[in-house]
Amino acid sequence: MVSQRSAGFALIAFIVLPMALVAACDKVPLLAPTGSVITLLPTTTTVSLNSEVTIIATVIENGTAPGGTGGTTSRPGGGTPVQNGTLITFTTTIGRIEPAEARTHNGQVTVRLITGGSSGTATVTAYSGGASATKDLKIGTAAVKTVSVTTTPQALGAAGGTTTVIATVTDEGGNGLGGVPVTFATDRGSISPSTANTDSNGVATATLNTTATAKVTATAGTITSTAATVTVNARGLASFTASPSATNAGIPITFTVTPTTGVNLSNVIVDFGDGRSTPLGAIGASTTTSHPYNSSGIFTATARAFDASGDVSTLSTTVTIGSLPITLSASPNPPTVNSPVTFTVNGVGSAQVDRYEWTLDDGTPMQTTTSPQLPHTFRTRGVKNVRVDVFGIGGGKIGSAPLTVEVQ
């Protein structure tokens, strides 16, 4: 009876044990055989933050890994794909791999590297059995190759204002990098925000507020853009001119003061360079003033503009002034004793004259007229000398002329 039981147990053990061994074998993963080569092929080696990139791993028995890196196993030979279902495990130093394990089909598996908010170089590793491969992918700021910055508009009016700053961040292939923080800076005014993340096209924007010409830079990672310049029209004066720039004493010169577009000046003072000046008051457009010089020489006229903040602009121009080319004539000539003769100043033209001073050497006191003519009667015969001095507005002598007559 005992022997029959023992025989039964032996028969059951003989049947159950092989089945258990088969079940256990099914739970052991199928790994790449010795001599296999793994090659990692990402769709790009630069990756934006908070994005993903597809990675294909090929596993070849007795193959050669083209471009394999790290601990890749490499053997010469044509190679064949590993058995379907071969398990490949993935790791990364930055982000995560999904799925972390995958089984081959026709010698390939496809996974994704999913990045977060951390920049740097991610080392992706794939391994199975004794085969492994690594691939470095640059993420975020580590992938930045170029940063370009532009502004819209590129020029502002005299009062300044706001302009949009656009920074474009690209990798070595010229592709935009998303999620990369860009830091903006300027030497004039303010930028808001000072840091902005790029969008999916690699573009980050900010707003510059300035009242003066400003340079703007953008930095992503270790790369800084070449500065972009936002031009603000100079506050104050655009031009200051004299017409004519050369003339004779006493002839008015027209000075034109032109403010920059869009600026309202509280006052402009024109200094003519001869000790006289005039305020033009508040101006917002081209304004003229005229001025005669009362002596010959070279004069530098200056226009100084003021706004609410004070002295904002100064421009100068130079004028050349010659003596007034006057002559003196008598009618009749020669004059006769005890008969009237009229002396006339010629060549005054458009000169602004205040007075004429007449000097005669017949004992007559100096005479002053506002007219260019002087009637006179000589009481004795002989040679007589006459001189006229012409004085301009403001008192300066602008010309002088002598005349000698012989009274009959």
Give the tens place of pLDDT for each residue, 55-78: 999 999 976 544 444 444 444 445
Write the DSSP string, 319-353: EEEE----EEEEESSS--TTSEEEEEEE--TT--E
pLDDT at residue number 73: 42
Residues 135 and 158 in one domain: no
Residues 263 and 302 in one domain: yes
Beta bridge mates, 113:
53, 97
Residues 40 and 131 in one domain: yes
Residues 50 and 91 in one domain: yes
pLDDT range class, residue 200, cuts 50, 70, 90: very high
Domain termination residue (choose one: 139, 169, 185): 139
User: Residue 323: pLDDT above 60?
Assistant: yes
Token pair belonging to 47:
């990756």
- 363 domain residue, yes or no: yes
Please tell me which residue, 364 or 6, carries the higher pLDDT value: 364
- 11 domain residue, yes or no: no
pLDDT at residue number 77: 42
Residues 204 and 246 in one domain: no
- 402 domain residue, yes or no: yes
pLDDT at residue number 78: 57
Amino acid letter for position 296: S
- 17 domain residue, yes or no: no
- 265 domain residue, yes or no: yes
Domain with 58 in it: what CATH number?
2.60.40.10
What is the pLDDT averaged over residues 208-232? 91
Residues 160 and 211 in one domain: yes
What is the pLDDT averaged over residues 201-216? 93
pLDDT at residue number 87: 97
- 54 domain residue, yes or no: yes
pLDDT at residue number 309: 67
Give tens-digit pLDDT for 242-271: 999 999 999 999 999 999 877 778 899 999
pLDDT at residue number 62: 79
- 193 domain residue, yes or no: yes
Residues 164 and 132 in one domain: no
pLDDT at residue number 69: 42
Residue 340: name the closest of 331, 349, 351 by CA: 331
Residues 296 and 333 in one domain: no
Domain termination residue (choose one: 119, 139, 159): 139
What is the pLDDT averaged over residues 77-97? 91
Residues 244 and 337 in one domain: no
Strands 203-210 and 161-170, sheet pairing: antiparallel
What is the pLDDT averaged over residues 72-88? 74
User: Residue 14: pLDDT above 80?
Assistant: no
Q: In this prediction, what percent of the chain has a pLDDT beyond 90?
A: 72
pLDDT at residue number 110: 97
Residues 56 and 129 in one domain: yes
Token pair belonging to 274:
């001869």
Amino acid letter for position 369: T
Lowest-confidence region among 5-9, 69-73, 304-308, 354-358: 69-73
Give tens-digit pLDDT for 337-387: 999 999 999 999 989 999 999 999 999 999 999 999 999 999 999 999 999
Domain count, the chain: 4
Please tell me which residue, 84 or 77, carries the higher pLDDT value: 84
pLDDT at residue number 13: 45
Residues 47 and 121 in one domain: yes
Token pair belonging to 363:
């004992």
What is the pLDDT averaged over residues 180-202? 95
- Whether 320 contacts 298, CB under 8 Å: yes
Residues 50 and 130 in one domain: yes
Structural domain span for residue 133:
36-139
Q: Residue 275 contacts by C-beta under 8 Å, 6 or more apart in sequence?
A: none
User: Residue 112: pLDDT above 80?
Assistant: yes
Token pair belonging to 305:
């503009």
- 16 domain residue, yes or no: no
pLDDT at residue number 22: 40
Write the DSSP string, 351-400: --EEEEEEEESSSPPPEEESSSEEEEE-SS-EEEEEEEEEEETTS-EEEE
What is the pLDDT averaged over residues 298-311? 86
pTM of the model: 0.54
pLDDT range class, residue 8, cuts 50, 70, 90: very low
DSSP state of 72: B
Domain termination residue (choose one: 322, 356, 391): 322
Measured distance CA(315)–CA(241) in Å, rounded: 9
